[in-house]
Structure 1
Amino acid sequence: MKIMPRNLAVFITVGAFLIAITCAEDPYRFFEWNVTYGDIYPLGVRQQGILINGKFPGPDIYSVTNDNLIINVFNSLDEPFLISWNGIQQRRNSFEDGVLGTTCPIPPGKNFTYILQVKDQIGSFYYFPSLAFHKAAGGFGGIRILSRPRIPVPFDEPADDFTVLIGDWYKSNHTALKAILDRGHKLRNPDGILINGRGPNVTSFTVQKGKTYRLRISNVGLQNSLNFRIQNHRMKLVEVEGTHTVQQMYSSLDIHCGQSYSVLITADQSDRDYYIVVSSRFTNPILATTGVLHYSNSASKVSGPIPGGPTIQVDWSLNQARSISKLAYSANLKVSLIYNLVRTNLTASGPRPNPQGSYHYGMINTTRTIIIQSSAAQVNKKQRYGLNSVSFKPTDTPLKLADYFNIGGVFRVGSISDKPTGGGLYLDTAVMGADYRTFVEIVFQNPEDIVMSYHLDGYQFFVVGMDGGVWSKGSRNVYNLRDGVARSTIQVYPKSWSAIYVPLDNVGMWNLRTEFWARQYLGQQFYLRVYTNSGSIRDEFPIPKNARLCGKASGQHTRPL
């Protein structure tokens, strides 16, 4: 398979610098990735995996606040490929978001250079392949953004910093899983759980007695909420998706699909090895796997029964959330539950959302309420999923390119309602319009019996409320309007709702989706078009000069800066 010559790739990369001229004073970090197929054996069965530079999972991205990341991706697969950046906000630049609605796929044998800036961000995130159910084959890896050297961090420097990617996994190849979905059928339950792409007792982290370590844990799986715990060790929660949190200790943590957490652990036990356990939540049977916390002078290996996890009932997860946030009492559930998963550490330095010039998001009036409700049904005798009765139908022209070049017939703003319609599920290329610099409330209503998880690209939002039953205006009386955590992925419990506040300060076409990947593939997503007609580079960057153009945009030309 022919790959673009390296000198030409370098020329494109150098030319891409022009796109970031407004932030030329910030450092650049360069990455060159080759995406290939390769044999992997995560659950003891040979599978066709997606490797990056021969690795499964892919290499970590290390960066510092405001760094410019130049990532040259060569596609050596036999099908189109895209990488997206879960939690990286892409300020003023949704062209680089790496989902089908914003970015043309990289054809086989070709490359694309992503130009990203981790503007005003810190924390733990991950990247993943966004097309063709590739996520079920690998191609994912960790992203860490460190604070600038002179910015104080609200905990001592750990002895080491580990990426921990957890997720459910199928023994079947992604092509077989995709074929099942394409035929209109549901997938069976996953076969197992992986830690950093490995099965039981393969992944190991070495620690020295008396020292403290940071674990950056991301649920990169396909559908299951997961519980994470370490035998005989407590975890101090310190960061969630770019927000320093009020620090509290836990023996285990529930991490829902798409979510990322940072915890500190201290190696304060006797000199032996200890189980790291990851198990599925709210499933029957429960799936589980183990890793090893290895003391450097360990006298014995892990043995015996693994430490048990929480009960299958959802109440435990709710009570845990209640324990790490302000209490609010629900008349709709038998237990009192939180109105934020975690609380922001308001005394910590570092980047954080700054809507309309104020950190006090609770003092800003929202201008619009959007209510999003999930649904599932057969459409044309095939299984589909949707939001507000619309199941997303992809197009061969990225919506962002159609918008930028004013190409008609690709999508229609307002093709999804901002409230549940109560009607039957139907197919459409769902795009919701929103005005730049407005401050909106979004409520996720879950009428189903499973825990849902939603992600919004391009933003951190403030989690202000959760409760059982159906949301109403009176639900605002129990919102946390002081120190709700800012993050980009939120869970919604069964027969419940979750509410967020979003400062729409990032122009672009942004994907709002379920993190249950089969549902996402079968339509449970839409695009939020945050629009201004100013035309100013202060509001949105021009299209990158190296942007690939496809579909109805193929005959267009990128304009010079």
Structure 2
Amino acid sequence: MNNQAMESRMIFVTLLLSASIRVIAEDPYLFFEWKVTYGTIAPLGVPKQAILINGQFPGPKINCTSNNNIVVNVYNQLDEPLLLSWSGVQQRKNSWQDGTPGTMCPILPGQNYTYKFQVKDQIGSYFYFPTTGLQRAAGGIGMLQVHSRDLIPVPFDRPANEFAVILGDWYNKGHKTLKRILDSGRSIGKPDGIVINGKSGKFDDLAAEPLAVMESGKTYRYRICNAGLKNSINFRLQGHTLKLVELEGSHTVQNMYDSIDLHVGQCLSVLVTANQVPKDYYFVASSRFAKRPDVAIAVVHYANGNGPASPVLPAAPSENSAGIAWSMNQFRSFRWNLTASAARPNPQGSYHYGKIEITRTIKLTNTRSLVNGKLRFGINGVSHVDPETPLKLVEYFGLADKVFKYDIVKDEPSNGPAVVAPSVVNAVFRNFVEIIFENHEKTIQTWHLDGYSFFAVAIEPGRWSPDKRKLYNLQDAVSRHTIHVYPNSWAAVMTTLDNAGMWNLRSEMWERTYLGQQMYFSVLSPAKSLRDEYNIPESQQLCGIVKGFPKPTPYAGT
């Protein structure tokens, strides 16, 4: 073989090895194809038009591992626009795929769109749901669970099995009817009941498949989400204790509970050991802080068990003011497991958030008002409306001044008249911020921030003031993405705004979200580099005033 041929062969082998290394180095891909359709179901005995995914409610479960790339091809076979959001999944540098009306054009009827995102350095229990209109009241909801990679130790033994449990309140009225009620300026009122994995949870509906089957002596993981619209839910398992091990993507100190409050939009994992007499037991879910609580049950069956569950259900915590105190104390008992490894680059416990200087304090109050005789909700007096063109797109194309004004919501509540407008707060990239949620109403609130986890450092009664920082947990507050605020109380969270993009901060009570209790954080990287934010995907749909526009020059790498 001559020198030129040998040199060519060496170059070919080098390129082949290089390509092989790239293939090996890339994280695995999981592919899903979903057809979203209508179907009629009647969880509470009243037939209703539901939103099904591949004919299912709840929809298909996404079972993945940290750093997996998720590709979901969604076919919209409804007669209305559709968007799906991946609640709590931190899409690093990728608000393009966040699935909210402020970041993406909707998937129009008869069309499809492929979501592509990575569950980067993340573990935990999450759910997906539709964000368009009141579709969340009709279904389109499913579990997304992210396991730790094998090389990352988990602070508990591998369970014998895992069970996905999606709880939620349910309205017998269809989602289009609920939307018309809100558009007319009225409230949709109290839900009609609670469902467990889409089932009614009534004694006369328990002949169906059990929620879970356990073998004596084994331990099981229950991943549980409250994907409802309004009600906090308390859950318990008859005769068994619950060991909390994960809360919204963070390993927790493993405390034992007889029952746990789960507020709207929240997910967690508990371990249950099958250490009782082999027979059936009831999993019980009941609404909290309601004058007339709704109750739903499901059967947990012991393999080779003999005997029905006792009709005497375990009681919920007290529903008077002591009940709120009970729930608040339970929140204080939730602690980050500082000795556990984690999926994130910085292991849990190495991020000393209590020693970082706060660069900005934002105090947000949920507001309720009438605008032209119609009910509106807001934040600091500003009630958000979605423009025709998603906020992320108009900002990216340099047309923000034609659609919205930044910073209508101020860092302190104001007493002026309600303002109805697109609401975007300009945030400084990588600033460490403190956000105070103050609730002056008589109903509980739940808040969620897309794209981030924050440290939930305090929930306390009364009004917040700077001296209340002495009450903060600055050691082991759980890193999570939702925070609830009890009536006439406040909550404080801290986070570093290091995820560039346009990110939705919203009430998880969807009636309030639809009528304006939400806003967006615009977190822009001055470098305009791929190090900080991905380019707009080639397949991204354009609509509104940017429809047909050529895409701007892509960001460069570093």
Structure 2 match to 1:327: none
Look up the equivalent residue of 2:166 and give its one-letter code.
L
Aligned residue among 283, 287, 298 for 1:291? 298
Structure 1 match to 2:120: 119
Q: Distance in 1 between matches of 2:303 and 2:39?
A: 33
User: Does 1:166 pair with 2:170?
Assistant: no
Summarize deviations over 1:237-257 as a string: whole Å, max 9, x none.
000010000001000000000
User: Does 1:175 pair with 2:168?
Assistant: no
Structure 2 match to 1:204: 211
Deviation at 1:430, TM superposition (A): 0.7
Structure 2 match to 1:239: 246
Q: Distance in 2 between matches of 1:229 and 1:148?
A: 30
Deviation at 1:317, TM superposition (A): 4.5
Note closer, same or farther for the CA distance 1:524–1:160 as it changes in structure 2 (3 Å cut).
Answer: same
- Say if 1:353 and 1:359, in contact at 8 Å, map to a contact too: no
Structure 1 match to 2:3: none
Q: Distance in 2 between matches of 1:513 and 1:22?
A: 39
Aligned residue among 527, 536, 552 for 1:534? 527
Note closer, same or farther for the CA distance 1:299–1:349 as it changes in structure 2 (3 Å cut).
Answer: same
Summarize deviations over 1:48-67 as a string: whole Å, max 9, x none.
11000110110110111111
Note closer, same or farther for the CA distance 1:314–1:73 as it changes in structure 2 (3 Å cut).
Answer: farther
Aligned residue among 256, 264, 270 for 1:257? 264
User: Does 1:376 pair with 2:368?
Assistant: yes
Q: Distance in 2 between matches of 1:395 and 1:60?
A: 32
Q: Distance in 2 between matches of 1:456 and 1:353?
A: 21
Aligned residue among 490, 504, 511 for 2:504? 511
- Say if 1:243 and 1:352, in contact at 8 Å, map to a contact too: no
User: Does 1:361 pair with 2:360?
Assistant: no
User: Does 1:411 pair with 2:395?
Assistant: no
Structure 2 match to 1:55: 56
Structure 2 match to 1:451: 444
Note closer, same or farther for the CA distance 1:141–1:84 as it changes in structure 2 (3 Å cut).
Answer: same
SS in 1 for 2:125: strand
Structure 1 match to 2:19: none
SS in 1 for 2:100: coil
Look up the equivalent residue of 1:387 and give its one-letter code.
I
SS in 1 for 2:307: coil
Summarize deviations over 1:161-181 as a string: whole Å, max 9, x none.
111000000111111111101
SS in 2 for 1:322: helix
- Say if 1:463 and 1:486, in contact at 8 Å, map to a contact too: yes
Deviation at 1:428, TM superposition (A): 1.1
The sequence identity of aligned pairs, in percent, is 51
Aligned residue among 386, 389, 393 for 2:385? 393
Q: Distance in 2 between matches of 1:267 and 1:520?
A: 40
Q: Distance in 2 between matches of 1:139 and 1:272?
A: 34
Deviation at 1:315, TM superposition (A): 3.0
TM-score normalised per structure 2: 0.92
Q: Distance in 1 between matches of 2:33 and 2:325?
A: 43
Aligned residue among 456, 461, 466 for 1:463? 456
SS in 2 for 1:121: coil
Q: Distance in 2 between matches of 1:165 and 1:347?
A: 29
TM-score normalised per structure 1: 0.91
Look up the equivalent residue of 1:107 and give its one-letter code.
L
Summarize deviations over 1:382-430 as a string: whole Å, max 9, x none.
0000000000011010000011111131111112112101222220111
User: Does 1:133 pair with 2:125?
Assistant: no
Aligned residue among 479, 492, 514 for 1:499? 492
- Say if 1:544 and 1:558, in contact at 8 Å, map to a contact too: no
Q: Distance in 2 between matches of 1:22 and 1:363?
A: 41
Show structure 2 runs of 5+ residues with no match.
1-21
Deviation at 1:313, TM superposition (A): 2.3
Structure 1 match to 2:342: 350
User: Does 1:281 pair with 2:273?
Assistant: no
SS in 2 for 1:400: helix
Look up the equivalent residue of 1:430 and give its one-letter code.
S
SS in 1 for 2:392: helix
- Say if 1:219 and 1:259, in contact at 8 Å, map to a contact too: yes
Deviation at 1:113, TM superposition (A): 0.4
Structure 1 match to 2:9: none
Q: Distance in 1 between matches of 2:226 and 2:322?
A: 21
Summarize deviations over 1:321-365 as a string: whole Å, max 9, x none.
4356xxxxxxxxxxxxx3xx611000001124859x951111111
- Say if 1:254 and 1:317, in contact at 8 Å, map to a contact too: no
- Say if 2:213 and 2:301, in contact at 8 Å, map to a contact too: yes
Deviation at 1:375, TM superposition (A): 0.7
Q: Distance in 2 between matches of 1:349 and 1:465?
A: 24
Greater shift after overlay, 193-202 or 154-163?
Answer: 193-202
- Say if 2:328 and 2:459, in contact at 8 Å, map to a contact too: no
SS in 2 for 1:58: coil
Count of matched residue pairs: 525
Deviation at 1:271, TM superposition (A): 1.4
Look up the equivalent residue of 1:52 and give its one-letter code.
I
Aligned residue among 300, 307, 331 for 2:307? 300
Note closer, same or farther for the CA distance 1:256–1:23 as it changes in structure 2 (3 Å cut).
Answer: farther
SS in 1 for 2:106: coil
Deviation at 1:204, TM superposition (A): 2.2
- Say if 1:228 and 1:254, in contact at 8 Å, map to a contact too: yes
- Say if 1:373 and 1:420, in contact at 8 Å, map to a contact too: yes
Look up the equivalent residue of 1:224 and give its one-letter code.
N
SS in 1 for 2:96: helix
User: Does 1:310 pair with 2:311?
Assistant: no
Look up the equivalent residue of 2:357 and give its one-letter code.
N
- Say if 1:418 and 1:432, in contact at 8 Å, map to a contact too: no
- Say if 2:317 and 2:326, in contact at 8 Å, map to a contact too: no
SS in 2 for 1:71: strand
Q: Distance in 1 between matches of 2:286 and 2:124?
A: 24
- Say if 1:321 and 1:342, in contact at 8 Å, map to a contact too: no
Deviation at 1:228, TM superposition (A): 0.4
Q: Distance in 2 between matches of 1:83 and 1:255?
A: 22
Note closer, same or farther for the CA distance 1:41–1:486 as it changes in structure 2 (3 Å cut).
Answer: same
Structure 2 match to 1:5: none
SS in 1 for 2:120: coil
Q: Distance in 2 between matches of 1:354 and 1:39?
A: 47
SS in 2 for 1:181: helix
Q: Distance in 2 between matches of 1:131 and 1:323?
A: 33
Look up the equivalent residue of 1:434 and give its one-letter code.
A
User: Does 1:69 pair with 2:70?
Assistant: yes
- Say if 1:545 and 1:559, in contact at 8 Å, map to a contact too: no
Structure 2 match to 1:16: none
Deviation at 1:211, TM superposition (A): 0.6
- Say if 2:382 and 2:419, in contact at 8 Å, map to a contact too: yes
Look up the equivalent residue of 2:489 and give its one-letter code.
S
Q: Distance in 2 between matches of 1:358 and 1:265?
A: 30
SS in 2 for 1:413: coil
Q: Distance in 1 between matches of 2:426 and 2:485?
A: 24
Q: Distance in 1 between matches of 2:31 and 2:551?
A: 24
Deviation at 1:306, TM superposition (A): 2.0
Deviation at 1:451, TM superposition (A): 1.0
* CA RMSD in angstroms, aligned pairs only: 1.7
Look up the equivalent residue of 2:262 and give its one-letter code.
I
Deviation at 1:188, TM superposition (A): 1.8
